[in-house]
Structure 1
Amino acid sequence: RPLSSNVRAQDHMRRVIFISHPNVVISREIPVPQWPLSSLGRNRMAASLVQPWIQDVSAIYCSTEQKSIDSAEILARHLSLEIQPVRDLGENDRSSTGFLPPDEFEKVADQFFAAPHDSVRGWETAFAAQQRIVEAVGKLAAADGASGSIAIVSHGAVGTLLYCHLSGQPISRRWDQPSNGGGNFYTFQLSPMQVFSWWKPIDEIAL
């Protein structure tokens, strides 16, 4: 189902900013969804507060994972808004493997994107994760009653899958966010559906 089918007529041209959480504290002892932002991640998220689109944000949604909540709360405090956690904005389900060493994780992630309809080592498939994030974004945008831009603080893989949908591209890791530890964003509108750029770092301001 096209994402734009869930959008109200008055949401024409309304902007949405999709933000991937920045750097986290990686731990073998803590379940991945409970990893918090690192000090670097917090600093980078704070640096994003001077982005020119920040003051237009009137609603902040995030996943229920700790790193996403930590990131969204930094925006929310600055804008005096409440965060609105949505479970379906979560990262692709990797609970079957849990923590993987970085080299092994990258290999499995490559397989995840390369075979979208196949479950790699029990992970949620890329196709299923894409359907979930597309539907979640469409629903929250249709239900949101604010008038400004919507900020969605989520995760890199599902953000890439959403980007592929918005840009009309097949699922591919070539559209994945830069290798900077997360903390990137892109802006799009829902009606008519259009994405305005590839990922950009949250802590770099385009001149």
Structure 2
Amino acid sequence: MRAIYLSHPEVTIDPNTPVPDWSLSQTGRARTSALATSGALRNVTRIFSSAERKAVETATLLAFPLGLIPVITDAMHENDRSSTGFLPPDQFNDAADAFFAEPDLSYRGWETAAAAQSRIHAAVASALSAPTSGDALFVGHGGVGTLLYCALSKQPISRAHDQANTPGANPGGGNVFIIKDSVPTSGWHPMEALVN
């Protein structure tokens, strides 16, 4: 059995809508639909999703051809940034740098990286503790996905492992890493790599 962690792909950015309520863009939906119909996920028997709209949309598209219903897992949400709301890209990048650089400190009221890492790690470990056959797919977000990767690979929290900083990964999201025996087998790759 293996686990696949997938960050949702591209979204429609709307500064007037809370970030957890953003939906997939046409590009994100097309990429997800292509993966869903590729047969690459045929061994997946369980799908777990963050409760954020973009993740639920991704998980639902992937689950339908498999005859599965995603298990919505509240603890898989992205790091809580509600204290600042939407930040323009340059401000967000500065904030993300600070978030990863000081894991035990809150950036302007954000959930700390250490707290977010503990939360996502516990959620994934709990889901994987149930005996089952087949692969598990986790549909979530890039930030907490990176924190999960750092925890499982026993590396310090660092934005160096973020999907945006991984050569070959899609900076807009829709990337995966594979987990075997509770250890990542590689860094982030585009979701299309599952097909090849």
Tell me the TM-score range normalised by the shorter chain.
over 0.9
Higher relative contact order (CA closer than 8 Å, sequence separation 6+): 1
Query: Secondary structure at 2:192's aligned position in 1?
Result: coil
2:152 to 133, 157, 166: 166
Q: Residues 40 and 194 of structure 2 are in contact (CA less than 8 Å); yes or no, is this contact kept in structure 1?
A: no
For residues 116-155 of structure 1, the aligned pairs below 5 Å read 116-143=103-130, 145-155=131-141
Show the counterpart of 2:62: 75
For 1:53 and 1:186, the matched residues in 2 are separated by: 14
Counterpart residue type for residue 203 of structure 1: E
Segments of structure 1 that go 5 or more residues without pairing to the other structure are 1-13
Match of 2:192 among 177, 193, 203: 203
Give the superposition deviation at 1:52.
Answer: 6.4
Partners of 2:67 and 2:171 lie apart in 1 by 29
Aligned pair count reads 191
Residue 47 (structure 2) pairs with residue 60 (structure 1): yes
Looking at structure 2, the residues matched to 142 and 204 of structure 1 have their Cα atoms a distance apart, in angstroms, of: 27
Q: Hey, what does 2:183 align to over in structure 1?
A: 194
Partner Cα distance (1:51, 1:199) in 2: 20
Amino acid at match of 2:71: Q
Shift in CA distance, 171/52, structure 1 to aligned 2, threshold 3 Å: farther
Q: Which residue of 1 aligns with 2:16?
A: 29
- The separation in 1 between residues aligned to 2:137 and 2:108, in whole angstroms, is 32
CA shift in 2, pair 1:164/1:27, >3 Å = same
Instruction: Give the Cα separation in 2 of the matches to 1:93 and 1:84.
Output: 21
Any conservation in 1 of the 2:40–2:195 contact (CA below 8 Å)? no
Tell me the alpha carbon deviations over residues 54-99 of structure 1, each in whole angstroms, 9 at most, x when there is no partner.
1110000000000000000111112110111000000000000010
Shift of 1:128: 0.4
Tell whether the 8 Å contact from 1:16 to 1:188 is kept in structure 2 after alignment: yes
Paired with 2:171 and 2:193, the residues of 1 have a C-alpha distance of 12
**Once the two structures are superposed, what CA deviation does each residue of 1:132-190 show, in whole Å capped at 9, x if it has no partner?**
000000111113x541000000000000000001111100000001352110000002x
Q: CA RMSD in A?
A: 1.5
- State the TM-score, normalized to the length of structure 1: 0.88
- Unaligned runs of 5+ residues in structure 2 are 165-169
Q: Percent identity?
A: 47
Contact kept, 8 Å, 1:177 with 1:184, in 2: the verdict is: yes
Distance 1:186 1:78 in 2: 22
Which residue among 9, 20, 33 is the counterpart of 2:7? Answer: 20
Judge conservation of contact 1:51–1:205 (CA < 8 Å) in 2.
no
Judging changes above 3 Å, is the alpha-carbon distance between structure 1 residues 169 and 52 closer, same or farther for their aligned structure 2 residues?
Answer: farther
